[in-house]
Structure 1
Amino acid sequence: MNFRSMVPVDVWRDLVDRGRRRTYPSNSVLLAQGESPDCVIALVDGLVKVVQSNESGDELTLTLRGPGEVLGEMGVLLGRPRSATVTAARRCTGIVLPAHAFRGYVERHRLETVIYQLTVERLNSHERLRADLAHLPPTGRVARVVSHLADEVGYPQGEAGLLVELGMPRTELATMAAMRRSSALVALGQLQSAGILTLGRRRLLITDMGHLRAVARGEELCGVKSSEDATPAM
């Protein structure tokens, strides 16, 4: 679910037509945590990473977002500083709309309910993820995170499966799963050994979504080779 999927085509087009198109190189910052919300960005191409920092400076990758998302909308509507940093996981194209123009756009198309529904769904999704991770074993944690990312940014590849572009090292999945990097890499290797997914460079191809969902629910992983054979290279 993203903003574009929740509004009519002409409403999305109105947003795109009213803004200024801008290209963001890989690793560049689109929005910074704590900054004043002076605009929103409608993502029309690319992949972004949403990261939140705590008072100690530790960073947690919250999720990935793809085309069709509107970034920074809640800060603009509530008049509050940005709650997270959004960076380009790979080259992105966005439509930048000033805060006052976006507020007018929302009012003109009566999108308050849509924004509310989208925000609640995102919060619920994040809370469900955190709650699930609290009781799952290591492989289940990684499966749950991969399942979450598949829902957010997965692209069907026909009979081949579902492609998830990470745009970041696989070790960052460990921070999302609240576990050590070495344990996350072993878990990824086990999922690959079981025929659930194939590991690529900053991407995953999910070949057995049903099995992945089952492991993400805490069910036993089937068809795993020895841990030595299952451990992927960095």
Structure 2
Amino acid sequence: MNFRDIVPAAAWQDLVARGRRRSYRRGAHVLRQGESAGSVIALTEGIVKVIQVAENGETLTLTLRGPGEVLGEMGAILDRRRSATVKAVSACVGHVLPAHAFRGYLDRHRLSSEVYRLAVDRMQENERLRADFVRLAPPARIARILAHLTKEIGRPVEDGVLVELGMPREELAAMAAMSRSSAVPVLSGLQAAGVLTLGRGHVIVRDPARLDIAAGGSGEPASGGV
């Protein structure tokens, strides 16, 4: 579920219309962790990844977001610096709105409570996922991450659901708190079982129901906010 899913269609269109259209090439920084939250971006095309950088310089990809998402909303609402970096996984189009204008937009459409609820839901989902990683076996961890990404950014295609990852296998493995050497056999096993097909920078999930079963049955998503 993203921002567009929780607001009326007219409210989403109003947000897009008020923003300044901007294109981002693949690999470009859309938002940077630590910078002032002076604007929000309504994403209308493409996929982005949300990354957090630790004090020791290590990076972790938290999640991927797709069209219909608003990026940087909590920083703008709370007047805090960005808590994560957002990079374009594919060519993207966003509509940039100043933070003060976004706050006025929320008041005008009476959407503040919905935005907070979405943020809290994602935080709780993330906490559940991290707790599950303590008890889940490695195969279920990678399946859980893939199940989340399928629901978050999956796009139906003729032979399944296309998930544009735009990241190397070791980065996907790190999302599941695994090493690349541990994740690759799991991915190969899921492919051999006909659950998914691996491609360069993407996967095609052929059987989402079986992927949910491999993930422990629920496919609870991970989350990251900016």
Fold-level match, TM-score > 0.5?
Answer: yes
What is aligned with 1:99? 99
Deviations 1:14-50 (A, max 9, x none): 1111110000011111110111100000000000000
What is aligned with 2:202? 203
User: Is residue 130 from structure 1 mapped to residue 130 from structure 2 by the alignment?
Assistant: yes
Deviates more, 1:41-50 or 1:201-210: 201-210
The separation in 1 between residues aligned to 2:130 and 2:7, in whole angstroms, is 29
The separation in 2 between residues aligned to 1:190 and 1:37, in whole angstroms, is 43
> SS at the partner of 1:55?
coil
The separation in 2 between residues aligned to 1:218 and 1:195, in whole angstroms, is 18
Aligned residues of 1:166 and 1:202 also touching (Cα < 8 A):
yes
The separation in 2 between residues aligned to 1:218 and 1:66, in whole angstroms, is 24
Aligned residues of 1:140 and 1:218 also touching (Cα < 8 A):
no
- Please list, as runs of the form range in 1=range in 2, the aligned pairs for 1:177-188 lying within 5 A after superposition: 177-188=176-187
Aligned residues of 1:133 and 1:144 also touching (Cα < 8 A):
no
Query: Offset at 1:170?
Result: 2.6
The separation in 2 between residues aligned to 1:42 and 1:164, in whole angstroms, is 21
> SS at the partner of 1:171?
helix
User: What RMSD, in angstroms, separates the aligned Cα atoms of the two structures?
Assistant: 1.3
Higher-Rg member (1/2): 1
What is aligned with 2:43? 43
The separation in 1 between residues aligned to 2:34 and 2:114, in whole angstroms, is 25
| Matched AA of 1:170 | R
Query: Offset at 1:4?
Result: 0.7
Query: Offset at 1:5?
Result: 1.1
What is aligned with 1:83? 83
| Matched AA of 2:14 | D
The separation in 2 between residues aligned to 1:209 and 1:102, in whole angstroms, is 36
Q: How many residues align?
A: 218
Structure 2 stretches lacking a partner, 5+ long: 219-226
Deviations 1:67-122 (A, max 9, x none): 00000000000011100000001110000000111111011111111101110121
- Please list, as runs of the form range in 1=range in 2, the aligned pairs for 1:1-234 lying within 5 A after superposition: 1-157=1-157, 160-217=159-216
The separation in 1 between residues aligned to 2:170 and 2:195, in whole angstroms, is 18
> SS at the partner of 1:50?
strand
> SS at the partner of 1:168?
coil
Query: Offset at 1:218?
Result: 7.4
| Matched AA of 1:106 | L
> SS at the partner of 2:62?
strand
The separation in 2 between residues aligned to 1:210 and 1:103, in whole angstroms, is 39
> SS at the partner of 2:36?
coil
Deviations 1:175-233 (A, max 9, x none): 101111111111111111111110011111111212211111079xxxxxxxxxxxxxx
> SS at the partner of 2:82?
coil
What is aligned with 2:224? none
The separation in 1 between residues aligned to 2:83 and 2:160, in whole angstroms, is 34
Query: Offset at 1:134?
Result: 1.6
- Kindly, what percent of the aligned residue pairs are identical? 58
The separation in 2 between residues aligned to 1:5 and 1:211, in whole angstroms, is 25
